[in-house]
Each structure stands twice: as C-alpha cells, then as structure tokens.
Amino acid sequence: MVVRVSGDEGRPGLRERKKQETRIALSWAAIKLVAERGLENVRVEDIAAAAGVAPRTFNNYFSSKGEAIAARHLDRARLIAQELRRRPVSEPLWEAITSAVITQLAMGADYDDRRPDQQWQTGIRLMIGEPSLQGEMLKASAVAEEELAAAIAERTGTDIAHDLYPRLVAGAAGAAIRVAMDQWLRADPPVPVRPLVENALGLLAAGLPEPRSS
Amino acid sequence: MVVRVSGDEGRPGLRERKKQETRIALSWAAIKLVAERGLENVRVEDIAAAAGVAPRTFNNYFSSKGEAIAARHLDRARLIAQELRRRPVSEPLWEAITSAVITQLAMGADYDDRRPDQQWQTGIRLMIGEPSLQGEMLKASAVAEEELAAAIAERTGTDIAHDLYPRLVAGAAGAAIRVAMDQWLRADPPVPVRPLVENALGLLAAGLPEPRSS
DNA sequence: CCGCAAAATTGCGCGCTATGCATCTTTGCG
DNA sequence: CGCAAAGATGCATAGCGCGCAATTTTGCGG
C-alpha cells in the first residue's frame, strides 16, 4: 500500500536522498544515545531502533559503532574543504583557510549551541574521552585533511601526489583546529571559539615563533 | 618442576623487565604476522602463540589487535619527546625538534632497514592501509604528541594546561612528521627520509609560505 | 498504470573479539 | 622457607562485523 501524502516532497529526492537521511539518522542516534548513556550501555541494536531500521542495516552504513559516531564529525570537517574551494583565489591562503573554518564553525554553531543542556555538554565530553572513539575521530579528521589537501593543491597549483606542501598545510591546519577545539572544550569558564581558532591558525602562519616571555 | 637453565640471566630481570619483553614480543609478532598474511588472516590466537603466551594473556597487554600493532609505533614516537628533553635549552626550538626527530629516525634505521625484503616493505604498506589500523596509528601519534607537548611546554616555559602554544607546536610537528613519512613510504624510487623530514619541519618553521611558482 | 530489474533492507548464522571471574603459577621479600 | 602480591591461564559470555540469501522498495520504460 502506497500512501501519497501531499507533503511528499521527495520528488527530486532520489534514492540517494533517503540514504543520506538514514545515514544521518543513524549517526545522530548513535551520538545522542552514547552522550546520555555512555558508550558501554549502547548496543548497535539500540541505535538501529532509534533510527527506525533493522539492526542489520546499521552495518550497511557503518562498519562499526565508532564510525557512526565520527560520521558527523567527518561531514562537518569536509565542509571546510568545500568552503575553501569557494574562496576567491586572490585571497591569501591562510586567510582563506581561516575564513573557511570560521564559516563552518558559525554554521555548526546554531546547530550545536541550540543544545545548551549541561547534560549534553558533559555527555559529549565523556564521549570524546572514550579511547575507542578517539581513533575514529582522528581517522575522520585524516580523511577530511585529505580533501583539504586536494583543495589546497588546486588553489596553490601544487601537486598532491609529489609535493609535500599541500598535505603539510592541510595537516598543520587540521592540527591547529583540533588543538583549538580541544582547548575550547576543556575551558571551564566557557570561551568563544573564534578567537581560539584564529589564534591557532595565525600562529601557524607566523611559523610558530618561540615565545620570549611567559 | 623448576628447571634452572645455566643461561638463566633473569637475575636482575625484575618483574617489569619480563613484562616489557612480553609486550614487545606480542607487538612484534602481531606486526610480523599481519605484514605477511594480512590483517584478516591473523587471529589473536596466532599472535599469542607466536609470542609464546596464552591467548588470554594477549588482552592483559593490549585491548585490541590494532593496539598491539600500533604499540611499536607509539614507543618510537615517544622517544622523540624523550630525545627533545635531552637537547640543550639554548638550542632554538625548531632546530631541537628537528634534531630529535632525525636522531630517532637514525636509531630506527638500522633496525628497520635491516629488513630490505621486498615482501616486508609491501606487507607494511598493506598493513598501514588497513582502515581499522589507521585509527590506532593516529591514536598512538596523538598520545606521543601529548608527551611532546609536555616537553615543549617545559622548554619554552609555557603552560600546557592554559596555553595553546605547546600542543599547537606538538600537533604541527606531528603532522609534519606524518606527512613526511607518508611521502617517504609512497615514493617509488625510494628516497632518503632525512631531507623529507627536514624540509617539512623547515617549512613549518617558516610559516608554510604560499609557493609562488609551481 | 503496470510490471521489471536494480538497489536497499532485513533475517539468519557464524567466527572472532574483548572482558569479567576464578584458579593456578611465579616472583620477590621478609 | 613460606607467604602475599602480581601475573598468566582457562572458561564462559555478550556483542560485534560480516557473508549470504530472501524480501521489499524504488525508479524507469512500456
């Protein structure tokens, strides 16, 4: 029985659309459950149920629990590379990278900060503290860095296969972002993200000068 | 029945010594087996057998196959931080870091290059290509970077808890090393490592200047 | 509007992993 | 020499990841 609801805006929604929705639903459900119950107390079965699919389907999308959780992180990171491509080539590289990061941060802001729950915050912190998840997060970052490197190579006219440069810049930028985010997450009187990221990337572009006085 | 063999040189061998030996034996066995058979065809049972311990013991040392494999990588990376502490404080930071890395690379050289086997080389490449291992490798690098950051903080008189600087430098240096190693591994007519690492770290210290011409 | 082929979901089964618990063995120390 | 702590083993179990085959859904052309 096919019920055609008036709001069946899935018209252009190809098959791909549905797949992405399911993918996101699974990833989101995983994060939500783990944030509130802890990794140990969430089974794949639970995630699948929360996303409204069969347990077996979970593994059609992700090869592990950790991958599902890191997927959101990966998507977010990918957008930075995508945003970098939109920047005019005339713009200096580091300026462009910083802008791209800030832009994506802003987009995610009214998405994450809409959850000022104390519960949520601590849940996330516990989550990223899980050893078995840190690897997945880093792996996701690495994948994103690869795309970032491609964008940088394109922009600077370097060769991603032979030149050290693009991957190096991408890697360094990734490290800076990670450090800034880390600092941001552990700041107890919460501080704004932007200055942290700008500072980190700025220091990078300045060659990480050795501080004279503490 | 306790058989006392003449070669019972375990005299000073504290309890710790034996543990470290077992740990290394397990890690080494894991790498060796995976390099020649592929990750899928190596069971924990096999690794334990190759190291001469019971299967159950494996998990007393490592919580996963991947962790065992990454353990060598971690140990090596840790030595860089340790080496950095030995450098005179008068030496400029980046110079010291570069020297520390080069030194450790040299130490590992007559350890790894003693295996010029074509088989071994390709085995290692396949191994680090395994998705489930990349995460472990990165995690190991992250742990090492933390120690590196501590050493840098100490040297520069910065605070690892509040200052962005030490972690940032450690992260960037880690990224540079990773990129250089990666480039080194994929170079088809093999090239020496040193120039790659020196180049990468040098570019970092120079602020990753945007190349003018390709 | 209808069926058909491709694609995705689902159910089932299995080998392996990771870990808690109880037991046995070894080590170091008085 | 014997005891207490630490480590190694064995055993058992809950999940996990995945291959396979059956089933349902989707998009497309007639």
What are the tens digits of pLDDT across the range B23-33?
A: 999 999 999 99
- How long is the CA A23 to C1' C11 vector, in angstroms? 21
CA of A2 to C1' of C2 (A): 14
Cα gap A135→A63, rounded to integer Å = 14
Q: Which residues of B touch A200 (CB under 8 A)?
A: 164, 168
Residue A7 has pLDDT above 60, yes or no: no
Do residues B155 and B96 touch, judged by C-beta distance below 8 A? yes
A141 CA, D22 C1': Å apart: 39
- Report pLDDT digits (tens) over A103-158: 999 987 766 666 678 888 899 999 999 999 999 999 999 999 999 999 999 999 99
Read off the DSSP letter of residue A64: S
Which residue from A minimizes the CA distance to B137?
A135
Q: Which stretch of A31-35, A117-121, A166-170, B126-130 has the lowest confidence by average pLDDT?
A: A117-121
Q: What whole-number distance in Å separates Cα of residue B214 and Cα of residue B181?
A: 22
**Residue-level pLDDT at B113:** 62
What single-letter amino acid sits at B123?
Answer: G
Percentage of chain A exceeding pLDDT 90:
79
Structure tokens at A165: 């440069």
pLDDT of residue B213 exceeding 60, the answer is: no
- Tell me, what's the pLDDT at A4? 39
- pLDDT by residue (tens digit) across B125-147? 999 999 999 999 999 999 999 99
* Residue from the list B66, B136, B175 with its beta carbon closest to the beta carbon of A171: B175
Candidates A139, A158, A176; nearest CB to B172? A176
Structure tokens belonging to residue A26: 């699974």
* Closest alpha carbon within chain A to B199: A164
What angle in degrees, to the nearest 10, is found between the helix axes of B65-86 and B93-112?
130
Tell me how crowded residue A48 is: count the other CB atoms within 10 A of its CB. Answer: 20
B45 touches strand C (CB under 7 A): yes
Q: Which amino acid is at B129?
A: G
Percent of chain B beyond pLDDT 90?
79
The closest of A71, A90, A102 to A176, measured between CA atoms, is A102
Tell whether pTM > 0.85: yes
State residue B115's pLDDT score. Answer: 63
pLDDT, greater one: B45 or B15 = B45
B108 versus B98: which is more confidently predicted? B98
Which of A's residues 7-26 have CB atoms within 7 A of nucleic strand C?
Answer: 15, 18-19, 22
CA dist B77 and B140 (Å) reads 8
pLDDT band at B111 (very low <50, low <70, confident <90, very high): low
| Chain B residues inside the 8 Å CB shell of A92 | 210
Confidence of residue B13 (pLDDT cuts 50, 70, 90): low
Q: Does residue B135 reach within 7 angstroms of strand D, measured from its CB?
A: no
Out of B94, B164, B176, name the one closest to residue A199 (CB): B164
Query: Per the CB < 8 Å rule, is A168 touching B214?
Result: no
CA distance to B44, B69, B77, B126, B174, per residue, from B139 (Å): 21, 12, 12, 19, 12
Burial class (CB in 10 A: 0-12, 13-18, 19+), B17: exposed
